[in-house]
Amino acid sequence: MRDGSGNFSAGTITASLTGSISGNAATATALQTARNINGVSFNGTADITVTAAAGTLTGTTLASNVVSSSLTSVGTLANLTVTNPITGSVTGSSGSTTGNAATATALQTARNINGVSFNGTADITVTAAAGTLTGTTLASGVTASSLTSVGTLSSLTVSGNSYFATTSGDVGIGKTSATAKLDVAGTFNGTQAVFGNTAGRGLEIATALNGGTNEGSSVLNARGAGTGQMVFQIDGTQVARLTTEGRFALGPSFTPSALLHVTAGAGTLDVLAAGQSGVSNGYVISSNGSALTHQWYNTGNEAMRLASGNLGLGVTPSAWGTNLRTIDIGFGTALTNANSTTDTWLSSNAYYTTQWLYKNAAEASYYQQASGAHKWYTAASGLANAAITFGDPKMSLDASGNLGIATASPGTRLDVVGPDGNGLQYRTATRTIGLGSIGGVNALYGGSGTEITFHIGTERARITSGGYFKASDNGTYAGPTVLYHEFSNSANEVSLLAQNTNASFSQAVLLVRSSRAAGATHNLITCQANLVEQFSVSGNGTIYAQNTTVQSLSDARLKENVRTATEGLAIINALRPVRYDWKAGHGNDRKDQLGFIAQEVEAVFADAVSEWKMGEETYKTVGPGALIPVLVNAIKELSSRVAALEA
């Protein structure tokens, strides 16, 4: 029901309301504003649990159902009655708890009993104070003592053996005085002392029995050891061991596997040293913890060293690479077996790790033998421990016997490779001969001022110091030192043959050339018989001879198809003799010469004309030989005419 102001006073609203609703509802599902109860938020939508604030408790007695508490402390109680045993600790001052407990687990204050602290929490052992002992005799059950000293005893008898102690602290056994801390006197030959147990095992000190091979000698015996061993220790650590087989070990704990077995622990130390004057003349084995080094000394100087499988003679071996076994000798020489093969190296001032290195600052070299081949290497000077570049071998000898110089693969018995210049040479104090390449040309050379001779059994040829070649079948020459080339033959054979076998040959077989200008004052060719000049060809081409006859082959046995020639006076009359001057550079530049023009002669009588090839040019020539038969016929014709006129 709604009034005039629009307010509802009763009724049911079935539709949804929008907007704000004011006033107080009889009930609600949640508080508009949540509230804290003892610090816990509450808005009416769910149950909560509220604990009581300790400071707000009222009354003096807890509810009867409260039987335990988590209190760790309380205030001062005027009175406390506990009907059951109290477990745990009770602390506080002595004034806090009164009365006497029937039992307790510990005394509040520990007390000393004969100097031993006791608080009742554990058992203790109390010894009697030595100064409080009463009476004069130990109980009969006391059979041993830990006394380390006693007062002055007038005598001490144990089972009939006399023991004597001197004022100096020395003890004698079996004698009336002592000369050492323990001085034992026994039989001449026999046991003197035994340190052991009731099983008969122990250390026996004795002298050799009568009749023994070592009679009167001192004996140290591990008695009753059986298969045991005698062990020597220092501070509980083994330093030596002796087995029943007579094997002796020196070093940390181990059983020897040899008659003398020496071992070393970690670190660098000498394992064995033997010699005179310390080891000035002796032998030392040392260890660096992983490898042994053997050293031999002579007069205080190390003479030899074996380390890492390498031996040094008078020097410490270099750090050679793995699988190399080397003998180092002195300043830089070494002999090496390479890489567990049959390869052998002989090196100077060089050693190999993973590459070749200099030992010292100097030149280096090495020789290699492998698979039957031999090679020699050299290197220029370098710094100590610097890398070496040997390059190709300077000399090689292969398994077939070929020797190469400056080549790794010789192809002949002697194969020399080198730069332009002197190659292979042999020298004496005054002579030199060599093979090489000079100016890019292969050369056989001799020393300055010397000759080169060629021998096949005896001398067959020579080159003089002036460069003149002389050849002889018997080693003798017409002019061995004269300045000309010579070919001498004592046999009934040709002395000099000039031959060309080219079927298309078009040059001169023999060329004679002079650099002097053409002229009659010198000869191009001179021929002698028994040292007498027979003919010569002068520098201007003129032939001078003892006999000017030139014979032409004309044997009838060599000719066929012979006919009478008819050429004669007509041809002679057709020829034109001329005078002429040679052009510059031709005919020795001669002037006013008498002769023919070859082309004119060729037009009249071609048989008299030939050709002369001079260099790259071919020139026509006129020969008198063909004109002689024509002249004969011409004379015969004239003779017939004269005869006819005279008739």
Chain segment 48-69, per-residue pLDDT in tens: 777 766 667 777 777 777 777 7
Q: How many helices (H) and strands (E) does the chain have?
A: 3, 44
Query: pTM of the prediction?
Result: 0.46
Per-residue model confidence (pLDDT) at position 562? 94
Q: Find, among 416, 417, 450, the residue nearest to 433 by Cα.
A: 450
- Write down the residue that tokens 């026509």 correspond to: 620
Given a contact cutoff of 8 angstroms between Cβ atoms, the answer to whether 374 and 396 are in contact is yes
pLDDT at 93 over 60: no
pLDDT at 162 over 60: no
Per-residue model confidence (pLDDT) at position 89? 58
Backbone angles phi, psi at 130, to 5 degrees: -55, -35
Q: In percent, how much of the chain has pLDDT > 70?
A: 75
Per-residue model confidence (pLDDT) at position 4? 66
Per-residue model confidence (pLDDT) at position 109? 84
Backbone angles phi, psi at 337, to 5 degrees: -95, 120
pLDDT in tens, 416-467: 887 776 677 778 887 788 887 777 787 787 777 778 889 999 999 999 888 8
pLDDT in tens, 564-613: 999 999 999 999 999 999 999 888 888 999 999 999 999 999 999 999 88
Per-residue model confidence (pLDDT) at position 331? 78
Q: What's the whole-number mean pLDDT along residues 220-237?
A: 71
DSSP label at residue 634: H
| Higher pLDDT, residue 225 or 316 | 316
Alpha helices in 262-377 (DSSP H): none
| Higher pLDDT, residue 302 or 352 | 352
Given a contact cutoff of 8 angstroms between Cβ atoms, the answer to whether 218 and 191 are in contact is no
Q: Which pLDDT band holds residue 271 (cuts at 50, 70, 90)?
A: low
> Average pLDDT of the chain?
79
pLDDT at 17 over 70: no
CA–CA separation, 338 and 322 (whole Å): 9
- Concatenated DSSP letters for 101-132? -S--SS-SS-EEETTEEE-SSS----PPPGGG
CA–CA separation, 636 and 564 (whole Å): 13
Q: What's the whole-number mean pLDDT along residues 314-334?
A: 83
CA–CA separation, 196 and 259 (whole Å): 27
Q: Which pLDDT band holds residue 12 (cuts at 50, 70, 90)?
A: low
CA–CA separation, 157 and 142 (whole Å): 18
Given a contact cutoff of 8 angstroms between Cβ atoms, the answer to whether 170 and 179 are in contact is yes
CA–CA separation, 247 and 277 (whole Å): 28
Q: What is the sign, positive or negative, of the torsion defined by CA atoms of 244, 246, 249, 254?
A: negative
pLDDT in tens, 527-572: 999 888 889 998 888 888 888 788 888 899 999 999 999 999 999 9
CA distances from 413 to 401, 402, 407 (A): 7, 4, 13
Q: In percent, how much of the chain has pLDDT > 90?
A: 26
Three-state SS for 261? strand
Q: Which residues pair with 241 in a beta bridge?
A: 231, 249
Q: Find, among 571, 525, 569, 564, the residue nearest to 544 by Cα.
A: 525
pLDDT in tens, 463-476: 988 889 999 999 99
